Amino acid sequence: MDARCGSCQGIQRIAGQRLIQRSSPTRALAAKRAFQQRSKRFCVRAETLGAGAAGKVKKVVLAYSGGLDTSVILKWLEDTYNCEVVTFTADLGQGEELEPARAKAEKFGVKEIFIDDLREEFVRDFVFPMFRANSQYEGIYLLGTSIARPLIAKRQIEIAKMVGADAVSHGATGKGNDQVRFEMGYYGLKPDVKVIAPWREWDLNSRSKLIKYAEDAGIQVPSSKRGEAPFSTDANLLHISYEGNALEDPWVEPDESMFTRSVSPEDAPDKPTYVEIEYEKGDPVAINGDSQSPASILASLNKLAGDNGIGRIDIVESRFVGMKSRGVYETPGGTIMMHAHRAIESICLDRGEAHLKDEIMPKYAELIYNGFWFSPEREALQALIDHTQRFVSGTVRLKLYKGNVTCVGRKSLYSLYDDKVASFEDDEGAYDQKDAAGFIKIQALRLRTLGTNRSPIV
């Protein structure tokens, strides 16, 4: 146990005395040693979680985009902690060339550089499970940024273990949700890891100070970065977000030139596009009969939706850290998937299953939004959701037109829809309408009782 941790030493002395008093000498000694080990582990974890950046760091894995901010962070980590920095850049389908990040890291003298293509894992193990739940935060947000963070955190921790790093670092600010999402992932996967969050530590609290630091460190500052950016963006294969600056007034409409993944609905084709999506156990597996990998399916749907002006939302959301923020999002393929999945579920799920899913969805979405992907409650809800998807297989036909998605057909071998029972024509005795009278009387019993005993006072 660390000699500096006086509180733990005090606890150990008191507990050790009690153990000796209550047990035989041999058993007491063994129990005391066991307690010392537990106390030591607790002390290390408490110090890690409470001390933040305090203490020496030997090697840190940085989530590195190659942009100005994370390049400054890389140099700041070297200057402040005098430690070795390992860079990790994730390809999540953000649609930009990532090799320049390697060149920039090499220029800093970074010896261990990781650029990982995580697109398939991202869609298969994170996006698809989330869409099985029909997840929408606050009834509208498809969680495009939120769902990417646990995968980045997971891979960072894997790399940290691989290279023997004792710390990880990210470029999220101290006012947003991402700092929480990253760090929940770090601590959930490696409880004793040191986390360095530069935006919560340094004094580079303005754009001019950041640029000055970059120039002094020999970091090239693009001319586009010298002024105040009109908005900040974050992108992956599922979506792109736009926030801040020009968008901070929730009354002001975004400029059309901002959007990159979809045409304006007004400029979309005047003729509708039809698409068929095949599902197996709750996940899309083919488009128009063409079987594709998870990432390819999402990319294909992005193109179809974007060409038809689908997937834009403009919202004010409630951040986990306590404030509200305005965000504009493009989630073209995800919007199609949401409509398609609900359509195939409508014929494959029993009413009780469907309604239960609708009840738990807000909690599930909130867990993802707040950064609790690796929590036991999220995993428990996921198990329930996945159980309901065993028979969610079939094909959905959708009509895409000027920003709208309409389901115009659905079929499944596991369909619970019976046209003979539902028909308004002669059902040949499949459903006796006279039976409805007794059903209604039983259902209305409590309402009739309430009406009798709580008659309105006029």
Please list the active-site residues: 69, 149, 178, 232
Residues 6+ away with beta carbon under 8 Å from 188: 374, 375
**Cβ atoms 312, 262 nearer than 8 A:** yes
Least Cα distance to 301 among 259, 258, 265, 335 occurs for 335
CA 160 – CA 165 distance, rounded (Å): 5
Angle, CA of 53, 57 and 62, to the nearest 5°: 80
- Per the listing, tokens 């537990």 go with 38
Q: How far is CA 420 from CA 288, 423, 434, in A?
A: 29, 5, 17
Size of the chain, expressed as the number of residues it contains: 458
CA 346 – CA 358 distance, rounded (Å): 12
Angle, CA of 340, 419 and 400, to the nearest 5°: 25
| DSSP, res 146 | G
CA 239 – CA 122 distance, rounded (Å): 12
3-state secondary structure of 268: coil
**Cβ atoms 254, 247 nearer than 8 A:** yes
Which residues are bridge partners to 325 per DSSP?
317
Residues 6+ away with beta carbon under 8 Å from 10: none
Least Cα distance to 346 among 356, 354, 338, 336 occurs for 354
3-state secondary structure of 225: helix
Helix (H) or strand (E) holding 219: none
**Cβ atoms 70, 211 nearer than 8 A:** no
CA 295 – CA 237 distance, rounded (Å): 8
**Cβ atoms 400, 304 nearer than 8 A:** yes
Least Cα distance to 337 among 390, 279, 415 occurs for 279
